[in-house]
Amino acid sequence: MSTQLHKNFTDGQVKSLFEKYSKKEIKLNYILQILKIKRSRFFELLAKYRKDPDNFSIQYESMRIPEYPDGNSEGIRTLNRNIRTPYRFNFY
């Protein structure tokens, strides 16, 4: 039932649905069918929208590796690569 909203809808479309729901122009079940989400996800998004309607967004926020002040993030990647190196275990 769950879909990736940011791929199927724009921020404006979702905002419009929330505005109409808040004005009681459309019912909850209709919105759930359109967005293809569950009630709990709807109310999470609605709370986020009501908290800050102007900056509300459903776009995916990716996590990036932080860069050092000089702009080099390669040191962190090297460190992570070294952590993931498998150890050899001797079983007797």
Q: Which residue has the higher pLDDT, 26 or 70?
A: 26
State the pLDDT confidence band at 91, using cuts at 50, 70 and 90.
low
Q: Is residue 83 part of a domain?
A: no
- Rounded Cα gap, residues 1 and 73, in angstroms: 38
Between 64 and 34, the more confident residue is 34
Is there a domain that residue 27 lies in? Answer: yes
Distance CA(59)–CA(36), nearest Å, equals 16
88 found inside a domain: no
At 7 the pLDDT is 86
* AA letter at 91: F
What's the number of domains the chain is made of? 1
Reply yes or no on whether the pLDDT at 53 is more than 80.
yes
How far is C-alpha 51 from the geometric centre of its chain's CA atoms? 16
Does a structural domain hold residue 14?
A: yes
Does any domain span residue 74? no
Position 10: which residue type? T
- Is residue 50 very low, low, confident or very high in pLDDT (cuts 50, 70, 90)? very high
Residue 43 belongs to what domain range? Answer: 5-51
pLDDT given at position 74: 54
- Whether 78 is covered by a domain: the verdict is no
In this predicted model, what pLDDT tens digit does every residue of 13-48 receive, in sequence order? Answer: 999 999 999 999 999 999 999 999 999 999 999 999
